[in-house]
């Protein structure tokens, strides 16, 4: 399909989809594909979930947009529900994960200035990904994504992911906050040590830093908890959400508590489209459906089934470095780059992607069932076994 008038910022796969149903997508020739990517962790309820379709249809027939110059009743209801689920206090709504992280960075700077710093600093992690806007890109630990857009905005101090000692060793009075993903998604589905987030929470408390957690990919049930940090038994000062929150409609949220609660005031931040009635109604439907259908525990069970089955079948192959993740956020790291597996999987009717060069990333909808899990596991394991056999043959021939 020709795309001559699109700016080529994406290396698109040679396929277009016409419709979706549950965990399945259908291309323009009506071929069926198991969606194990969910629009990159967006389609939490799969495709065309009846509850989400009904909510969007009803809201679209009533009211799409009024702006944040007025009260938006459905926005207030969504904020209440998010704060209840997160045990936090207030929400700012935007349109994307990048915007949610930008708001968090602005909060960190306000906090730093309030503490007397003229040049506040935010501690960020190697291999992190926080978005494509300039400040979020500067916080991102990927030089390839940054290349050509220098100079990056200043104000960030980078440390190895999961390394509490490296953060403790920082001696800089300008530090105002730490921004961290509870599991790094684009960075390779990297999981920190179990003690990292609780110890980081305690360190931020001692030093009066904001703990800002980027849950853009991990939030909204993806890991089997409403938010991945809840597995560590902590509450952040700032939490960034997007992706799965709208179930397919764009919405982002920056949720705050404690010392971050009063930093924003009238005129200090804003968004024309953020929190509009349509997006908020969709997000309410997503949250309510996750509750009604018990999808948190379901995601935990299905994720454990996927990981254990893959481990049992290919875990001992020399090419498999690690199988990791939480809930339905799963990474299978191989010992060398494997981008060709994206095309190979698609040819076998499964949609997935490879991140960090050598990590097969699986992000299926939270509604995936045992039969679809079996199909996904069989396909992924077949691809890994075929690749391992081909590599072994090549080595033996050499």
Active site residue 17: no
Annotated catalytic residue 11: no
Spell out the residues 6+ positions from residue 178 whose beta carbon is closer than 8 angstroms to its own. Answer: 122, 123, 124, 167, 200, 204, 209, 210, 211, 212
Q: 282, 251 in Cβ contact below 8 A?
A: yes
Per the rule left: phi > 0, alpha: psi between -120 and 50, beta: everything else, 327 is: left
Contact 158, 191 (CB under 8 A): no
Closest by CA to 17, choosing from 34, 5, 6, 29, is 29
Q: Count the Cβ atoms, other than its own, within 10 Å of residue 118.
A: 7
Output the six-digit token pair for 296.
């948190």
Helix (H, G, I), strand (E, B) or coil at 244: helix
Measured CA to CA, the distance from residue 390 to residue 398 in angstroms comes to 12
Two structure tokens written together for 349? 């009717």
What is the DSSP secondary structure assignment for residue 105, as one 8-state letter? H
Q: What DSSP line would sit under 257-278, residue for residue?
A: -GGGTTS--TTS---SSTT-HH
Q: Is 243 a catalytic residue?
A: yes
User: Residues near 126 by Cβ (< 8 Å), separated by ≥ 6?
Assistant: 141, 158, 159, 160, 161
For residues 378 and 310, what is the distance between their CA atoms, to the nearest angstrom?
8
Give every CB contact of residue 20 below 8 A, 6+ residues apart in sequence: 26, 35, 43, 46, 47, 48
Catalytic residue among 35, 156, 196, 243: 243
Count other C-beta atoms under 10 Å from residue 61's C-beta. 8
Instruction: Find how far residue 137's CA is from the centre of its chain.
Output: 15
Supply 34's token pair: 């198991």
Q: Which two tokens stand for residue 60?
A: 């679209």
**Catalytic residue from among 92, 93, 129, 196:** 129
Residue in 214, 227, 237, 264 annotated catalytic? 214
Q: Which of 242, 240, 361, 366 is nearest to 296 (CA)?
A: 366
Strand partners, 33: 25
Residue with tokens 């929470």: 201
- Supply the residues annotated as catalytic: 129, 214, 243
């Amino acid at each position: 399909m020709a795309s001559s008038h699109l700016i080529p910022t994406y290396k698109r796969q040679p396929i277009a989809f016409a419709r979706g149903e549950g965990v399945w997508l259908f291309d323009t020739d009506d071929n069926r594909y198991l969606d194990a990517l969910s629009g990159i962790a967006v389609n939490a309820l799969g495709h065309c979930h009846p509850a989400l379709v009904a909510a969007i249809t009803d809201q679209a027939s009533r009211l799409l947009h009024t702006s944040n110059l007025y009260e938006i009743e459905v926005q207030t209801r969504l904020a209440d529900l998010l704060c209840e689920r997160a045990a936090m206090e207030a929400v700012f709504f935007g349109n994307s994960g990048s915007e949610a992280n930008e708001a968090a960075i602005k909060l960190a700077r306000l906090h730093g200035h309030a503490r007397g710093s003229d040049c506040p600093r935010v501690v960020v992690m190697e291999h992190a990904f926080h978005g494509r806007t300039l400040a979020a890109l500067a916080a991102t630990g990927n030089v390839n994504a940054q290349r050509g857009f220098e100079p990056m905005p200043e104000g960030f101090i980078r440390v190895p992911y999961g390394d509490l000692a490296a953060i403790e060793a920082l001696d800089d009075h300008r530090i105002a906050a730490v921004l961290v993903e509870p599991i790094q998604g684009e960075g390779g589905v990297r999981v920190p040590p179990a003690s990292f987030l609780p110890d980081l929470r305690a360190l931020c408390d001692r030093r009066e830093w904001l703990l800002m957690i980027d849950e853009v990919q991990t939030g909204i049930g993806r890991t089997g908890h409403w938010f991945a940090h809840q597995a560590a038994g902590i509450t952040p000062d700032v939490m960034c959400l997007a992706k799965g929150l709208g179930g397919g409609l764009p919405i982002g949220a920056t949720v705050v508590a404690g010392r971050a609660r009063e930093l924003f005031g009238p005129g200090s931040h804003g968004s024309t489209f953020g929190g509009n009635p349509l997006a908020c109604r969709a997000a309410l439907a997503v949250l309510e459906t996750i509750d009604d259908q018990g999808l948190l525990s379901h995601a935990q069970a299905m994720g454990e089934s996927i990981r254990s089955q893959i481990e049992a079948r290919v875990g001992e192959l020399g090419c498999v470095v690690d199988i990791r993740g939480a809930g339905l956020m799963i990474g299978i790291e191989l010992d060398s780059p494997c981008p060709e597996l994206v095309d190979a999987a698609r040819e076998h009717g499964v949609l997935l992607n490879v991140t960090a060069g050598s990590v097969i990333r699986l992000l299926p909808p939270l509604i995936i069932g045992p039969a679809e899990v079996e199909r996904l596991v069989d396909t992924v394991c077949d691809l890994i076994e075929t690749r391992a056999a081909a590599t072994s043959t090549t080595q033996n021939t050499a």
